[in-house]
Amino acid sequence: MKKIISFFLLFLASKVNAQDTNYINIKPAPQIHKESARSSSKNAVYFELLGSTFGIGINYERRIINAPMLALNARIGVGSLILVNAFPAFGLNTLIGKEKHFLELGFNTIRTYGIDLFSIQGNITWIGNPILGYRFISPNGFLFRLSFTPLVNTFSDDLGSDFFPFGGISIGKMF
């Protein structure tokens, strides 16, 4: 019986000693993980000059899908041409890249009120607005966009005369 108790006590002592040395000597390595603002933020608000909101506009984006090299965003914005009529823009865009620099591809539909940009008539028109651009997002969430956003009259029989090259610049914040 003494041998069993002695064996049991030695066994426990060795386990306690092994656990103590493992606990004291082995520390997890510090995690160095550089997370970009795009991967940590789901929302963006930015001001736009020209671009999809024509004159001066403001946009809100919400990330729908986030993958390591790809993000899909839903967007709504409002702007006006010479601050006369408000033009809402609804769309989707994708950001391709990682860290800070991204290729932006997307498509908006824009509803104009009061004027038709493609004729002299005063009515409501839906306009297609593809997006091809560059987006920079700093680690603190600062956002800069430079985009080519041509306007396409979606209800015209002759699309060749209803294509207007256009572009814009934006600054804002991701949060």
CATH number at residue 69: 2.40.160.20
Q: Which amino acid is at 97?
A: G
Domain membership flag for residue 124: yes
pLDDT for 140: 93
Distance between CA atoms of residues 48 and 134, nearest Å: 14
Is residue 134 included in any domain, yes or no?
Answer: yes
User: Which range, of 32-41, 71-80, 145-154, averages the lowest pLDDT?
Assistant: 32-41
* Domain presence at residue 22: no
In a domain, 2, yes or no: no
Q: Is 73 a domain residue?
A: yes
Domain limits at 61? Answer: 37-174
- β-partners of residue 171 are 47, 144
Tell me whether residue 53 is in a domain. Answer: yes
- In Å, what is the CA distance from 138 to each residue of 16, 18, 60, 123? 49, 47, 18, 41
Residues 127 and 117: beta-carbon distance below 8 Å: yes
Q: What percent of the chain has pLDDT above 90?
A: 40
Query: Regarding predicted confidence, which is higher, 13 or 72?
Result: 72
Residue 10 is assigned to a structural domain of this protein = no
Lowest mean pLDDT: which of 55-69, 75-89, 98-112?
75-89
3-state SS assignment for residue 104: strand
Which is more confident, 163 or 92?
A: 92
The pLDDT-based confidence of 83 (bands split at 50, 70, 90) is very low
Cα gap 133→146, rounded to integer Å: 6
Residue with tokens 């004291």: 24
Q: Distance between CA 62 and CA 65 in Å, rounded? A: 9
Percentage of the chain lying above the pLDDT 70 cut: 62
Tell me the average pLDDT across 72-82.
87
> Would you put residue 169 in left (φ > 0), alpha (ψ -120 to 50) or beta?
beta
| Average pLDDT of the residues of the chain | 78
If one counts the domains in the chain, the total is 1
Domain assignment present for residue 20? The answer is no
Residue with the bigger pLDDT between 110 and 146: it is 146
